[in-house]
Structure 1
Amino acid sequence: MTSFQYTSLIATSPDVVWRFHERPDILKLLTPPWQPVEAVRREGGLGPGALSEFRLWLGPVPITWIARHTDEYEPNRLFTDIQESGPLDAWTHRHRFEPEGDHMRLTDDITFTLPLEWASEPMIGWFVLQRLRDMFEYRHQVTQEACG
């Protein structure tokens, strides 16, 4: 299992960033334009049981990724989603919203397991981590611009 974390300080309160994440178009807003990913649907907001579906493109091959929100949910503070089906053996994404003075700290904690991890991790693990860094840098910048 591999871990990744991206965090940034945003000049607003956690409830403002939480409301931004509740937007029905949030998946489209937070998907970097250079990524071969399409947000297909989002159901149920941020609470337990909510669902997000994406279509990823590996070359010409479409792959469906479905993430479901878990019971780890505290409004204005935390929600977690896990991969229900998709390209990885496992994926858990914890979204944290924490007050810090007159700002808030947005933190994305991810753990994942690549398929055939014993072989794929040494070969492409660094590449996956760099793509996550690029994606979350973009997401946090968009969030900062919309909320800060």
Structure 2
Amino acid sequence: MATFEREVRVRAPLADVWAFHSTIDGLRSLTPDWLHLRVEEIERPAAEPETHVLTAGTRIRASVQPFGVGPRQRWVSRITAREEGEATAYFVDVMEDGPFPHWEHTHLFYGDGDGTLVRDRVEYRAPAGGVLDGVAGAFLEPGFRYRHRRTREILEDA
């Protein structure tokens, strides 16, 4: 199993950064247009009221079509944990079905005065595993660099 980690400091309060990342609109805003993201369904836990926040138990069915070429690549993710404290917050999404046999993405947020440290940690196994884990990791870096740059652009200018 491979692990990818990346972090960024954002000049915005934890509450704002947390609220932004906790929604499907946040996911849409952090996905490059060239991936042609389509959120096909959001399935909420039965006991949960309709809300824009992605709570624990929420299942997301989505697809991408990089550069609009080829068939859509589909996956299903589920939010398995979501906790918010006074100066920290996190949520975890797990790929239940999709291109990776294992994908667990932990989104960590640490408040620091007027700023927030955003840390992404992904534990994954590439489709063929082994040597392809490293290749997949090389593709994760630019995607998370984009996500972090967009987070700063959106929240620091708010």
Shorter-chain TM-score category? 0.7 to 0.9
Cα distance change, pair 24–91 in 1 and its aligned pair in 2 (3 A): closer
Deviation at 1:36, TM superposition (A): 5.4
Aligned counterpart in structure 1 of residue 54 of structure 2, from 46, 49, 61? 46
Query: Which residue of structure 2 lines up, in the alignment, with residue 104 of structure 1?
Result: 116
1:115 pairs with 2:124: no
Preserved contact between residue 80 and residue 94 of structure 1 (Cα < 8 Å):
yes
Within-5 A mapping of 1:1-148 = 1-35=1-35, 37-44=37-44, 45-57=53-65, 60-70=70-80, 72-75=81-84, 77-117=89-129, 121-122=130-131, 124-148=132-156
Gaps of 5+ in 2: 45-52
TM-score (norm 2): 0.79
Q: 1:140 & 1:32 partners in 2: Cα distance?
A: 12
Q: 1:70-92, CA deviations, whole angstroms, 9 ceiling, x for partnerless residues?
A: 1x321260000101111111100
Contact 1:65 1:83 in 2 (8 A): yes
**Number of paired residues?**
143
TM-score (norm 1): 0.84
Is the Cα contact below 8 Å between 1:46 and 1:69 reproduced in 2?
A: yes
Gaps of 5+ in 1: none
CA RMSD of aligned residues (A): 2.1
Rounded Cα–Cα distance in structure 2 between residues aligned with 1:114 and 1:101: 38
1:18 and 1:43, CA in 2 relative to 1: closer, same or farther beyond 3 A? farther
- Return the offset for 1:136: 1.0
More strand by share: 1
